[in-house]
A = this chain, B = another copy of it.
Amino acid sequence: MDKTIYLDNAATTFPKPECVYTFMDEFYRNYGVNAGRSGYKLSKKASEIIQETRTELSNLVGVNDQRKIIFTPSATIAINQVLYGLDWSKIRNVYISEFEHNAIARTLHHLSKKFNFKIHFLKFSPDTFEINTKDLAPKLINDKPDLVCISHISNVTGYILPIEQIIEMVSVSSPIILLDCAQSIGLVDIDLSKLDIDFAVFAGHKTLYGPFGVAGIVNNSKKVKLSEFIVGGTGSDSTNLDMPSDGTLRYEAGSYNIQAIAGLNAAIKWIEETKTNVIYRKEKELTDYLVNKLEEIEEIQLYLPKDRDRHIGIVSFNIDGYSSQEVASILDRDFNISVRAGHHCAPYVGRFLNTNEGVVRVSLSYFNDKEDVDILIEALNEILWR
């Protein structure tokens, strides 16, 4: 079998930096015990790597306080923890974008069956992807936002949402703000100390180049104390039937996935050494190279923001006469190229892009290169010449 060209990095970055595999295996072999439950040396070492990883992460996002990092097994669980942890008796108006992932969309839909709130859309122009401020301004006054959930980078279009602009616009009523950074932390600089964001969710296995099994919440809220969501043992105060009332433990029931956390630790160190802006520049250059090549193909329709500075890593398109699934299947079968087709767990983007059948999504990482893009472009041309 020929080498596979992996272009599904928005699903999970693959491969990881070598140090992630190595350190994860090594740490798990040497210190693979249950952290935070015992006082012995091995357990302390495991606890130390957790604290160190919290510190690294908190520095990476500018909050510089390891107590603000809550670990969860997945970004989906992190988002569930935030949304289920809110006091819904106080929430009437929720604003989301059409770029949201089902981790947010389905969870809000599920909550809407129990609680009485309305979901409003921050509307973006399908031509430019710019936010429709004219319609939004009066709406924000009539239906004051209590909660705003937005993606930092769209997992379908690679669009970097104008979060500063959105935060400023919705600030009329000081809503709770949840930022879904699954596709952004590690790739774009983010300084949460300068943004009025309550909760930012990260996924270890995507732009952070860590493994599956670790994700979490940057809890930067001054106004909200989340209720517990997953309940269970915390290795502390065992005879108390309530979860700890303070600290990250309140949200971290069950055993820590020390192996995954060790992998994330190595990944963040790799990002710090490589530097986020270097990763960004390399990926941006490759993204632009891919976009330019795709634009040369007449039969291809691209779904891109007008402002290309707001676009990174993910390129979605369709080919006249083919469904997105057909394109992805042929690319895999005949060319060993891995891309994803369909709606990508983003329920509203199809409507926004005016495409019912989904899109072909090509998503890059630091480890892709121009040769990968060239092979893809050649394959697409071959499909069209058939």
Q: Known: A40-B332, A73-B74, A109-B242. Is A255-B33 also a contact (CB below 8 A)?
A: no
Q: Which among A21, A231, A242, A332 has the highest number of chain B CB atoms within 10 Å?
A: A231
Residues of B within 8 A of A340 (CB): 37-38, 40
Interface segment among A5-13, A190-198, A217-225: the answer is A5-13
Q: Known: A109-B241, A256-B212. Is A102-B232 also a contact (CB below 8 A)?
A: yes
Q: Which residue of B lies closest to A254 (CB)?
A: B76
- Do A37 and B11 have beta carbons less than 8 Å apart? yes
Q: Please tell me if A274 contacts chain B, counting CB pairs below 8 Å.
A: no
- Do B38 and A328 have beta carbons less than 8 Å apart? yes
Residues of B within 8 A of A29 (CB): 15, 21
Measured in the bound complex, the distance between the Cα atoms of B43 and A260 in whole Å is 20
Residues of B within 8 A of A350 (CB): 239
**A40 touches which of B12, B79, B339, B345 (Cβ 8 Å):** B339
- What 1/0 mask marks residues of chain A from 1 to 41 whose CB sits below 8 Å from any chain B CB? 00010101001101110000100110011001110011111
Residues of B within 8 A of A79 (CB): 232
**A106 touches which of B11, B16, B232 (Cβ 8 Å):** B232
Q: Please tell me if A66 contacts chain B, counting CB pairs below 8 Å.
A: no
- Do A80 and B232 have beta carbons less than 8 Å apart? yes
Q: Known: A205-B255, A325-B39, A328-B40. Is A241-B105 also a contact (CB below 8 A)?
A: yes
Q: Known: A106-B231, A109-B242, A233-B101. Is A15-B32 also a contact (CB below 8 A)?
A: yes
What's the minimum C-beta distance from A329 to chain B, rounded to whole angstroms?
Answer: 6
Residues of B within 8 A of A341 (CB): 38-39
Q: Which residue of B lies closest to A337 (CB)?
A: B40
Q: Please tell me if A211 contacts chain B, counting CB pairs below 8 Å.
A: yes
Chain A interface mostly helix, strand, loop or mixed? loop
Q: Known: A37-B340, A41-B4, A238-B102. Is A233-B76 also a contact (CB below 8 A)?
A: yes
- Do A235 and B6 have beta carbons less than 8 Å apart? no
Q: Which of A200-227 contact B (CB under 8 A)?
A: 203, 205, 211-213
- Do B347 and A240 have beta carbons less than 8 Å apart? yes
Residues of B within 8 A of A37 (CB): 11, 340, 345
- Do B16 and A33 have beta carbons less than 8 Å apart? no
- Do B8 and A345 have beta carbons less than 8 Å apart? no
Q: Which residue of B lies closest to A260 (CB)?
A: B213
Residues of B within 8 A of A21 (CB): 25, 28-29
Q: Which among A43, A76, A77, A255 has the highest number of chain B CB atoms within 10 Å?
A: A255
Q: Which residue of B lies closest to A205 (CB)?
A: B255
- Do A338 and B238 have beta carbons less than 8 Å apart? no
- Do A8 and B28 have beta carbons less than 8 Å apart? no
Q: Known: A76-B253, A230-B77. Is A32-B16 also a contact (CB below 8 A)?
A: yes
Measured in the bound complex, the distance between the Cα atoms of B241 and A110 in whole Å is 8
Q: Please tell me if A75 contacts chain B, counting CB pairs below 8 Å.
A: yes
**A103 touches which of B102, B254, B256, B337 (Cβ 8 Å):** B254
**A345 touches which of B28, B110, B235, B337 (Cβ 8 Å):** B235
**Chain A residues with a Cβ under 8 A of chain B:** 4, 6, 8, 11-12, 14-16, 21, 24-25, 28-29, 32-34, 37-43, 73-77, 79-80, 101-103, 105-107, 109-110, 203, 205, 211-213, 228, 230-235, 238-243, 253-260, 325, 328-329, 331-332, 336-347, 350, 358
A-B contact pairs, 8 of them (CB 8 A): A6-B42, A15-B29, A38-B341, A76-B232, A76-B253, A79-B232, A257-B260, A259-B260
